[in-house]
Amino acid sequence: MRQKLDGIDRIDTVPPMLLALAGLKGGTGRTTLAVALAAEARARGRRTLLVDLDPRGDAHAWSLGAGSLAPTTLRLPGVAPGQAERLRGLAYGHDLTVIDTPTDPDALALVAEVAELMLVPCRPSPMDAWAAVDTVETCVCARSLANFRMQVAVVPNAVDPRTTIGAALPNDLRALGLPVLACSVARRVAHPEAMAHGSTASLDAPAGPAARDINELLEAIEALRTRYSDSHQLRH
């Protein structure tokens, strides 16, 4: 990104990032987090692209309701020949490309081929945790075969820290050998309420608790990107 600092034009050296919200189980919060992260990145002045790979088109539908508040959003449903190259090409010229994916192993394989970061939301339930294990294994396999730059991370989502299962989720996921981000996204009605009127919790209440979670998540993602650019050491 070009910035004007002290009257001098500077090019931000942070490399572009292709981020996929992925998983082998439905309803984990991929679309909610994809939209929230893309909208927050755009609000921070990042050149942001939101790509909806899900044939259901939920992220795209949100963007139509959000109008000028939405980042540029493209609907590219399904896995088609040349899709990986298309995604790489689209990411070029954006600081952050966020891909929302369906619950489809072929779509997971596609994004695992191109993404720099695979983010796997996981709700507090055993079924979500088991699916996260399978998803991370698929990503690690794709990394060893073709996409050596990829990082994969699980983000606890829709967590109620007052419950036993919610409070224990990050450690339970780590005990399964999963790479878990230090931040979590709490279960808050502000997320679906905001999406229902074409907004996000962060845009509606930038100082609210739901916005704080999304800010922390975006910062954790950007820290991973910086780590990559500094070291090119991409193992969890």
Nearest-angstrom CA–CA distance, 87 and 79: 11
Q: Does 31 bind Mg ion (CB under 5 A)?
A: yes
Which is nearer to ligand ATP, 71 or 228 (by Cβ)?
71
- Pair 214, 185: CB distance under 8 Å: yes
According to CB under 6 A, which one of 18, 19, 28, 98 is a site residue for ligand ATP? 28
Nearest-angstrom CA–CA distance, 205 and 202: 5
According to CB under 6 A, which one of 15, 26, 55, 65 is a site residue for ligand ATP? 26
- Pair 23, 135: CB distance under 8 Å: yes
Q: Which stretch binds ligand ATP (CB under 6 A): 10-18, 89-97, 124-132, 180-188?
A: 180-188
For residue 48, the cross-strand partners are 96
What's the min distance (Å) between Cβ of 36 and Mg ion? 12
What's the min distance (Å) between Cβ of 32 and Mg ion? 8
Structure tokens at 165: 């299962």
Three-state DSSP at 36 gives helix
The residues near 147 (Cβ < 8 Å, ≥ 6 apart) are: 112, 113, 114, 115
Q: Does 191 bind ligand ATP (CB under 6 A)?
A: yes
- Pair 17, 96: CB distance under 8 Å: yes
What's the min distance (Å) between Cβ of 228 and ligand ATP? 25
According to CB under 6 A, which one of 133, 158, 181, 224 is a site residue for ligand ATP? 158
Q: Does 188 bind ligand ATP (CB under 6 A)?
A: yes
Q: Does 103 bind ligand ATP (CB under 6 A)?
A: yes
Distances (CA, A) of 60 to 15, 66, 218, 222: 26, 10, 21, 24
According to CB under 6 A, which one of 47, 75, 86, 187 is a site residue for ligand ATP? 187
Q: Interface residues with ligand ATP (CB under 6 A)?
A: 26-32, 54, 103, 157-158, 185, 187-188, 191-192
Q: Interface residues with Mg ion (CB under 5 A)?
A: 30-31, 58
